[in-house]
A = this chain, B = another copy of it.
Amino acid sequence: MDILITGAAGMIGRKLTSALSASGQLRGEPIGTVHLVDVVEPASVPDGWTTEVADLSEPGVVDALAARHADVVFHLAGVVSGEAEADFDKGMRVNLDGTRLLFEALRHAPGQPRVVFTSSIAVFGAPFPDPIPDDFHLTPLTSYGTEKMIGEALLADFSRREFFDGVGIRLPTISVRPGAPNAAASGFFSGIIREPLNGQRAVLPVSRDVRHSHASPRTAVRYLLHAAELDSSLLGARRNLTMPGVSVTVGEQLEALERVAGAEAVALVDEAADATIAGIVAGWPTRFATPRAESLGFTADDSYDDIIRAYVEDDLDASS
């Protein structure tokens, strides 16, 4: 079982790496070679695994990757939403061209690897029904979402033509994200939990009735592994799936925080309305109905309480 991971140095990539290293197997087969690619060197690398600092859109990179004949390719690499919006050309080059070049290189290599592609709920754009059904159209409102939509379309057609065996998973917002606060408009969804758990104050810039859909990093990794292992014949031609999430209001997030960490944790959250952030967040999806993914065995975190406990167990010591 040889594995290739692009975007391996990112938060999800690092957690996927740890999970694979811990289990030592995928699809019931012992893991052989693992090659980790990113534009920066991964912070920690299991013994015997190889790494490469490379941009998929640079000449020759994808051909060398495809020549490794991995059985499973986790394609996580990409420029994030804010950067793809600020630098259109870079987003298109990395997210669209990089993905297409990788897919083309895999097409021309022997074999039909399983290709797990991380898409995003950014493929959806308001206005929405509530909940958003599995067959709702994709009308992204960012270039990042557009690039993910195009990646999904290519993944499905390359799979239909049996160039490879692709599964695309649309990840909900990942919370609680470990590490330092960031400037993303969605950052507060994690910050209002993470900062209090670390004894620090946090700002809540939206009202408590704002609803959003979440998955823990631990569950995102479960989704990736399940996408690598599931029987893709069950997918037919529809290769892209919205992943289940835990849909809660910000108020419900704070109630969960109180249950897990007490009222003193919640007291560290300062409500300070920010009209700009509230406006951005108002255009985001709030709730999905995901019977298709669920019928295929993708299961969400049990509750937002569990999402907080996953952070406490997996990340709190490391970040405090």
Instruction: Give the interface of A toward B (CB within 8 A).
Output: 88, 125, 129, 134-141, 143, 146, 149-150, 153-154, 156-157, 160-161, 237-238
Q: Would you give the shortest CB distance from A3 to chain B, in whole angstroms?
A: 27
Q: Determine if B157 and A143 form an interchain contact, defined as CB atoms under 8 angstroms apart.
A: yes
Q: Would you give the shortest CB distance from A64 to chain B, in whole angstroms?
A: 21
Given A135-B136, A143-B161, A149-B153, 15 new contacts (CB under 8 A): A88-B161, A125-B237, A125-B238, A129-B135, A134-B137, A135-B137, A138-B153, A139-B237, A139-B238, A140-B153, A146-B153, A146-B154, A146-B156, A146-B157, A150-B154
The residues of B that contact A150 with a CB separation of less than 8 Å are: 150, 153-154
Q: Would you give the shortest CB distance from A206 to chain B, in whole angstroms?
A: 22
**Known contacts A125-B237, A150-B150, A237-B125; is A139 also within 8 Å of B157 by CB?**
no
Q: Which of B137, B143, B161 touches A138 (beta carbons < 8 Å)?
A: B137
Bound together, the chains give a CA A129 to CA B135 distance in angstroms of 10
Q: Would you give the shortest CB distance from A147 to chain B, in whole angstroms?
A: 9
- Most chain B CB inside 10 Å of its own CB: which residue of A134, A137, A141, A143: A137
The residues of B that contact A143 with a CB separation of less than 8 Å are: 157, 161
Q: Which B residue's beta carbon lies closest to that of A135?
A: B137
Q: Which of B137, B146, B149, B161 touches A136 (beta carbons < 8 Å)?
A: B137
Q: Would you give the shortest CB distance from A190 to chain B, in whole angstroms?
A: 27
Q: Determine if A141 and B153 form an interchain contact, defined as CB atoms under 8 angstroms apart.
A: no
Bound together, the chains give a CA A125 to CA B153 distance in angstroms of 12
Q: Determine if B161 and A141 form an interchain contact, defined as CB atoms under 8 angstroms apart.
A: no
Q: Determine if A140 and B125 form an interchain contact, defined as CB atoms under 8 angstroms apart.
A: no
The residues of B that contact A141 with a CB separation of less than 8 Å are: 160, 237
Q: Determine if B161 and A139 form an interchain contact, defined as CB atoms under 8 angstroms apart.
A: no
The residues of B that contact A161 with a CB separation of less than 8 Å are: 88, 143
- Most chain B CB inside 10 Å of its own CB: which residue of A137, A156, A157: A157
The residues of B that contact A238 with a CB separation of less than 8 Å are: 125, 139
The residues of B that contact A134 with a CB separation of less than 8 Å are: 137
